[in-house]
Every structure is written in structure tokens, then in C-alpha cells.
Amino acid sequence: MADENTKPVPGVATTSFGVPFLYRMFFLLLEPISALAGAYLAHLRKSDYLRLTHAASSPDVIPLGTDIVLSQLANLYLFFAMNEALILRATNDLRVWKRLIFCMLVADFGHLYSIRNLGPQVYWNVASWNAMDWGNVFIVYLGASMRLAFLFNIGLGFTGFQVNGPETWLEFHKNEFQPKPFGDYDVDIQIDCCGVCGSDVHTISGGWGEQHFPLAVGHEIVGKALRVGPKVTLIKEGQRVGVGAQSYACLDCRQCKNDNETYCKDQLDTYGAVWPDTGIVSQGGYSSHVRTHEHWVFPIPDALPSTVAAPMLCAGLTAYSPLVRNGCGPGKKVAIVGLGGIGHFGVLFAKALGAEVWAISRSHAKEADALQMGADGFLATSDKDWNVPHKMTFDLIINTANSFDGFDLDAYLSLLDVHAKWVAVGLPEDEGIKVRNQTFLSNGCFFGASHLGSRRETLEMLQLAADKGIKTWVEEYPISDKNLAEVMTKLKKNDVKYRFCMTNYAEQFGA
Ligand SMILES: NC(=O)c1ccc[n+]([C@@H]2O[C@H](COP(=O)([O-])OP(=O)(O)OC[C@H]3O[C@@H](n4cnc5c(N)ncnc54)[C@H](OP(=O)(O)O)[C@@H]3O)[C@@H](O)[C@H]2O)c1
Ligand SMILES: [Zn+2]
Ligand SMILES: [Zn+2]
């Protein structure tokens, strides 16, 4: 972990600013200086100002109304200068800079045009001043309000595919949204791809109950760190990074201090969580950008392609954490129930950790795939007495099933050795199953659950994957409203091998 933030990412200059030098010079230096000079002249040397700006038509005696308007203009100039500096200090996103230039052109050229074209007579005729004044002020305020909109909606650079509610959960709308305010430890990430988790379907289809809509889901994110907060030390601008399903915890409690931040009582999810101070609902990775505290932003090792790494950030970690916490390794016999996204990582990682690993699926349909992933054996629960030959032989079972339809818990538990562990990570929508003390009596097994994993485990997992060449089985789809609807439908029907990953973000959201 020590050198994670110093490792360069190939093809990405870690120090580059991302915005052309000339843009910066113009906005941060030239424009504010000239605006301040204009303000100074307009306030304190009105005759010079008029002679400089409107030499041809400038009268010797300044009309009464002009005096007031010049002061007003001067205030606006000052205001603009501060405004732009603030906005542009706050972002490296070229799209924001381009929009700002557009607003500035509307305001400044509109202003000049109105002065020049209404002509010297109208301009200097005190009787007609009102018409001129209003025209002028309208244009200036239009520009000012557009700039202000930027200041308050700096986050409107974020766009995502949102769902409006469970009744229309397959309709994705491309909307702009405001992220939480940028904090000292935050990283803004321009997203390149995002894996599709079973939890996305539970969330938008209403299976897990009420959610905060409109909502963009997606929490297996890989992209580029565009901007880092002043106190960020773990991530460098320009680095290729990932974000998983968790985006916040207190980092101060007993759990957080023991690498258990995923169990912190203050933990917040990457999407659908309400940020405590603002009421803003966090939005996930089917979006142009995500803003995340550095603790939940992970450098991606060079050896892992982005679409291979992305699904590891939720599904991979959810499988990896309970494996390493419960002793998966050489000499252990481990089973993975359910060969979906998490399940296939269960097989890949249990194998990489050196255990004997068995896949338990509902039919034989995925048997060849499981063996190709490295499984040492395969059990199909549709076979009669499927559990009998393996009773009391397993040290650990990870259950990834996302439903309890026809789920025979006793048959699964009978596989466990004395005091061995059953760890559930699947989060079915239905009521659940009934257990009695007798359920665990024949082998005294332990029954538990696991949530995601820690930062330390995420970094270890990514390194293990890089070192051992672990490859996610991934089906890539360019992100769009139609493709999101298609992959959600397929995932709901269990028609995936074994993780979808949305790609082509630059085409959809711009570079
Ligand atoms: N605990 C956590 O931190 C955490 C994190 C992320 C996701 N999750 C949850 O984990 C679950 C799985 O997510 P996923 O993305 O891997 O989903 P997925 O790709 O849809 O895989 C789920 C797998 O469960 C198996 N399954 C489904 N219904 C079953 C049943 N009635 N009995 C036995 N097996 C069944 C299927 O495998 P076979 O076809 O091989 O039988 C299916 O492929 C979801 O509920 C998700 O919300 C939990
Ligand atoms: Zn997930
Ligand atoms: Zn905590």
C-alpha cells in the first residue's frame, strides 16, 4: 500500500493538468486583470474610461445617467472577475471551460454590440438613456446569470442515466445532476466503464423497497482521476482509478480503525445514499463522473485492463473478503453457491488463494465454464442426492444466491465439516428463510454474512489479480439507455457470462 500513489499509470501523465495552457492563462490571468483594470478606470477615472472605450462618440461632459451606470458596470466587472476565477480554480474539466467561454462571449460581445450599434446619438442622449440602459443591463445580466449558474451548478458537468422509479425501471433517462460539494479529500473521476451488479437490478426494480429516485445506479467504476482535493494523498491527478459500492465511512470508529470500514455505522453507498449535510443523493457509475472520498478510490494496477478490473470492485471484493477472512487457502475445501457475477469471482479467487474449490449451481448449464474458471469440482442441486457424497467435507461455503426460490438450506449446510462456516453475501428480495437452532446442530456449523470488503482488501485483491493474471469473464456493452435496459433484463433472467460491463463512455458523455 505504501507506494500505491507513486506508481505511474502508462499512457497517462500523472502531472498533466488536462486543460490547455492558453485557456488557463486567459481565464486565470488576462481576463481578471483586464476586468479589474476596467473596474478601476470606470470607478475612479470615468473620463479616461469613456475616452478609451468609446473614443469616437465620447462627449466632454459626461451625462448624468452615465455616471451611475458606469459604477454599476464597474461592480459587475469586479463580480465577474471573482466569479470566473472561483469557477475555474474549481475544475479541470475542459467542458466547463468551453461553456464558460461561450457565456463570456454572449455577455461581452452582446454588451459591445449594443453600445456600438445603437449609435453615438442614442448612447449619449440622456433623454433616451433608459432604452439604452435596459438593453445593456439585460445583456450584461444575462451573461452574469449564466456565469452564476456555473458557480452554483459546477456539478452540472455530471450527467448520468437515471431511472425514475420501479414502475419504469427499464427506462433510463440521460439527466444532469449535482454531486455533493467537493470536499478536501474528494476525487472527481471521469468514468471509462462500469460493471453491472445484481444489486443494481434489486435497487431499480423495487425489490429492496423504497429508494431515492431519480437514481443512476452502477458501482463497479473505473475511470481517470480528473481533479483531487487539497488534502488528498492516496490518489494523483490523471491516475487510472476505481470505485466500488461503498463511498464513505467515519474512518474514526473502532470498526473503521480495524479495516472494517465496510461495517461502520456511518457507511454510505456509492449510489442511493443521502449525504448527511446536503441531502444530495449519491449517484452511481452509469454517469459521466463520480465524486468520491479518496479512501474509496483505488489505483488500478497496470496489468489489469479497465473492464477486467471494474467488476472486481464490487463483485470481486464481495467474494474475496469473506474468502480471506475465513481461512481460504491451501488444504481447504471451499464451495461457492451460485455462479453469477460474485460466484465466478468466488471460484477464480478461491483457486488463486490455493484452495480446492467447488462450484454449486442449480443445473449443469454452467459446468464447463466453472471448470474452465479453475473449479476442481461442480455440483448441480437439480441432481438427486447431489449433496450426499460430500457431506461434512467442506471448510467454507460462500453463498452468492440472490433468491431463495427452492432453496434447500439444510442440504447446503450438510456439506460443512464440524464448526465450519457458511457465509452469505447474496441479498435476496424475498422474506428470507426460517432457521432453528436444530438447523445448525448436526455439524455445529456457523452461519454468517459478509459485506463488501475494506480498502486494504481491495488493494490486495487487485494486486493478486494482477500478479496471477486473473481475468474477469466480461461481456461489454456500450453505455446507452437501450443497452442498459437490455443488460438489466438479461441479468434479471440470469443470462450473463458472467459480468456485464458498460463501456464507450467518451462517445456517450464526451471526452
Ligand atoms: N454482501 C454484499 O456485500 C453484496 C455485494 C454485492 C452484491 N450483493 C448481492 O449478491 C447477490 C448476487 O449478486 P450477483 O451480482 O453475483 O448476481 P448474479 O450475477 O445475478 O448471480 C446470482 C446467482 O445466484 C444464483 N441463484 C439465483 N437464484 C438462486 C436460487 N433460488 N437458489 C440458488 N442459487 C440461486 C444463480 O447461480 P446459478 O445459476 O449458478 O444457480 C445466479 O447466477 C445479489 O443479491 C446482490 O445484491 C451482495
Ligand atoms: Zn454490487
Ligand atoms: Zn466508522
- Identify whether residues 408 and 430 lie together within a single domain: yes
- Identify whether residues 200 and 254 lie together within a single domain: yes
pLDDT digits (tens, 9 = 90+) for 175-190: 888 888 888 899 999 9
Q: Looking at residue 233, which CATH number applies to its domain?
A: 3.90.180.10
Q: Which residues surround ligand 2, an ion (CB under 5 A)?
A: 197, 199, 245, 314
CA dist., res. 417 & res. 333, Å (int): 10
176 three-state secondary structure: strand
pLDDT at residue 397 is higher than 90: yes
Number of domains the chain is built from: 3
Q: Which atom of ligand 1 lies closest to the CA of 401?
A: 24
- Identify whether residues 306 and 320 lie together within a single domain: no
* pLDDT more than 90, % of the chain: 64
Distance 401 CA to ligand 1 centre (A): 4
From the centroid of its chain, how far is CA 65? 53
- Identify whether residues 329 and 443 lie together within a single domain: yes
- Identify whether residues 37 and 171 lie together within a single domain: no
pLDDT at residue 154 is higher than 70: no
Q: How confident is the model at residue 33 (pLDDT cuts 50, 70, 90)?
A: confident
The answer to the question of residue 16 being in a domain is: no
Q: What is the pTM of this model?
A: 0.76
Give 84 or 478, the one with higher predicted confidence. 478
Q: How confident is the model at residue 136 (pLDDT cuts 50, 70, 90)?
A: low
Distance 341 CA to ligand 2 centre (A): 9
Domain boundary among 111, 131, 152: 152
Q: Which ligand has the minimum distance to the alpha carbon of residue 272? A: 2
Give 211 or 13, the one with higher predicted confidence. 211
Q: Are strands 186-195 and 289-293 parallel, antiparallel or unpaired?
A: antiparallel
Q: Looking at residue 374, which CATH number applies to its domain?
A: 3.40.50.720
Domain boundary among 129, 152, 175: 152
* Ligand 1 pocket, CB under 6 A: 197-199, 202, 314-315, 318, 338-343, 361-362, 366, 400-407, 425-427, 450-452, 491, 494
The answer to the question of residue 7 being in a domain is: no
CA dist., res. 368 & res. 30, Å (int): 66
**pLDDT, mean of residues 483-496:** 97
Distance 315 CA to ligand 1 centre (A): 10
- Are 450 and 322 in contact, with CB atoms under 8 Å apart? yes
Domain holding 72, by residue range, is 21-152
Q: Which ligand has the minimum distance to the alpha carbon of residue 267? A: 3
Tell me which of 220, 399, 402, 425 to substitute to probe ligand 1's pocket, judged by most ligand atoms within 8 Å of the beta carbon. 402
Q: What is the mean pLDDT of the chain?
A: 85
The answer to the question of residue 13 being in a domain is: no
- Identify whether residues 277 and 393 lie together within a single domain: no
- Identify whether residues 288 and 356 lie together within a single domain: no
- Identify whether residues 174 and 217 lie together within a single domain: yes
- Identify whether residues 292 and 182 lie together within a single domain: yes
From the centroid of its chain, how far is CA 503? 14
The answer to the question of residue 294 being in a domain is: yes
Residue appearing with cell numbers 435476496:
428
CA dist., res. 222 & res. 411, Å (int): 39
Domain boundary among 152, 168, 186: 152
pLDDT digits (tens, 9 = 90+) for 329-387: 999 999 999 999 999 999 999 999 999 999 999 999 999 999 999 999 999 999 999 99
- Identify whether residues 299 and 336 lie together within a single domain: no
Q: Which CA distances in Å does 313 have to 1, 142, 244, 400, 454?
A: 17, 45, 5, 16, 11
Tell me which of 342, 433, 450 to substitute to probe ligand 1's pocket, judged by most ligand atoms within 8 Å of the beta carbon. 342
Q: How confident is the model at residue 47 (pLDDT cuts 50, 70, 90)?
A: confident
- Identify whether residues 141 and 168 lie together within a single domain: no
Residue appearing with cell numbers 439585460:
138
